[in-house]
Amino acid sequence: MDESGDEQSTQWQRFEKYVGHIVESSPDGTTYKVIYLGRHGEGYHNVGEAKYGTKAWDDYWSKLDGNGEIIWDDAHLTDRGKQQALDNSAFFNRQFAEAKMPAPERYYSSPLFRCLQTAYATWSGLEVPADRPLRLIVKELLREVVGEHTCDRRSSRTVIDDAFPEAEIEPGFSEKDELWQADHRETHAEHDTRTQQLLDEIFSHDEHTFISFTSHSGAIASLLRVIGHQQYPLPTGAMMPVIIKATKATSGQS
């Protein structure tokens, strides 16, 4: 029997109860969120890097739109990547039904095509509570490391809107990609500044506790650096949950 006296409760139920307790008992200025960090499924850029090796990829191939056989500009999912997302969907359905895993209350995605494909293939059609429907918000700050690599140059707002009309694109989202530069790739420090801004926005404006991020290996690595977590490289299609405590500073920033 667990501490709640419920012999039937699962680990996820006990975790959800614990999170609810610390949220309710936290002092003013302290907030907790559980974020499901999901990496997109395999994309054509992953195939390109595997084919040519990381050094050749970084030095030459990543700066092209493709190799004449496949295109990796704003890379789409491969068939394997699509299947990874569908396998994840089946896994989460079992987790929700059997393990009573808390479904996300809010869903965010990078605007890059592979993440939007992954998010919808993973979360659409799942049996979730009526008050937690899939309403995907496209978030510019969730992007992969920006610059040089064409796989990380996003499509226009019009293309994204046409391909994913059910997605909610955040206010201020530009028509053209204004972040990507052909001659400069974000440093860790620059990316971490962007990630800190992302977390500040989420903690300041989203009142939900359980949140889903569908993003990239570099974006997840940046978030783990910002929160002081050990690095945990995720393969394509993988997910890890993290619980984050934010305390409002005297300056008014989280």
Q: State the CB neighbour count (10 A cutoff) for residue 139.
A: 22
* Confidence bin at 250 (pLDDT 50/70/90): low
Told to judge if 229 belongs to the known catalytic residues of this protein, a careful annotator would answer no
pLDDT at position 248 is 84
Q: Residue 168 catalytic?
A: no
Mean pLDDT on 176-190: 98
Beta bridge partners of 168: 137
Check residue 8 and give its pLDDT: 81
Q: What pLDDT, on the 0 to 100 scale, is given for residue 7?
A: 65
Helix (H) or strand (E) holding 138: strand 136-138
**Which pLDDT belongs to residue 6?**
60
Interval 189-236: pLDDT, tens = 999 999 999 999 999 999 999 999 999 999 999 999 999 999 999 999
Name the average pLDDT for the chain: 94
pLDDT at residue 211, as a whole number: 98
At residue 1, the pLDDT reads: 45
d(CA 132, CA 18): 20
| Amino acid making up residue 110 | S
State pLDDT tens for residues 131-169. Answer: 999 999 999 999 999 999 999 999 999 999 999 999 999
* Pairing outcome for strands 30-39 and 239-247: antiparallel
Q: What is the pLDDT of residue 5?
A: 53
Nearest to 169 by CA among 105, 116, 239: 116
**Domains present along the chain, CATH in parentheses:** 30-247 (3.40.50.1240)
Catalytic residue among 42, 105, 144, 186: 144
pLDDT of 152: 98
For residue 170 the two structure tokens come to: 């955040």
Whether the pLDDT of residue 254 is over 80: the answer is no
| Pair 71, 114: CB distance under 8 Å | no
What pLDDT score does 252 carry? Answer: 46
pLDDT for 249: 75
Amino acid, res. 84: Q
Rounded to whole angstroms, how far apart are CA atoms 53 and 48? 8
Catalytic residue among 40, 45, 149, 191: 40
**Closest Cα to residue 224, out of 188, 175, 185, 184?**
188
pLDDT at position 253 is: 46
The distance from CA 240 to its chain's CA centroid, rounded to whole angstroms, is 10
